[in-house]
């Protein structure tokens, strides 16, 4: 496949059912299904008070916050995040994304495939 254009509103949203996730939904925007050979772009929404699992894995994340307020836990620290923040999470490091109790958090997350 070659060039591909997708609209986030046209993509199907699915709940993240990984153990430890609460109030998280994902849309797969670009991945191998559209011909992207080396990485995937995902759109995540975390409901107020929700969070991704506290976890680590062998691959990196590149994250760009679109809207809302929240926190990212990295190893033993916590950082506030909001619109226009870009975050790099190295491989094999403990991390978690959390929304505030009053804000839905939306972000793009890119990972290698």
- pTM for the model: 0.94
Q: What is the DSSP string of the chain?
A: -------GGGSPPEE--STT-EEEEEEEEESGGGT-SSEEEEEEEEEEEEE---B--SS-EEEEEEES-EEEEETTEEEEE-TT-EEEE-TT--EEEEE-TT--EEEEEEEE-
Which pLDDT score is estimated for 2?
Answer: 83
Q: Quick: pLDDT tens for 3-23.
A: 999 999 999 999 999 999 999
Q: Quick: pLDDT tens for 48-85.
A: 999 999 999 999 999 999 999 999 999 999 999 999 99
């Amino acid at each position: 496949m070659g060039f591909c254009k997708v609209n986030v509103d046209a993509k199907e949203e699915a709940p993240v059912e990984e153990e430890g996730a609460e109030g998280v939904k994902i849309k797969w925007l670009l991945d191998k299904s559209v011909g992207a050979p080396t990485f995937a772009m995902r759109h995540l929404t975390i409901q107020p008070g929700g969070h991704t699992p506290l976890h680590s894995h062998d691959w990196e994340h590149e994250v760009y916050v679109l809207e809302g307020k929240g926190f990212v836990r990295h190893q033993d620290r916590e950082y506030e995040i909001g619109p226009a923040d870009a975050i790099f999470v190295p491989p094999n490091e403990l991390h978690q994304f959390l929304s505030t109790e009053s804000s839905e958090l939306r972000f793009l997350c890119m990972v290698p495939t």
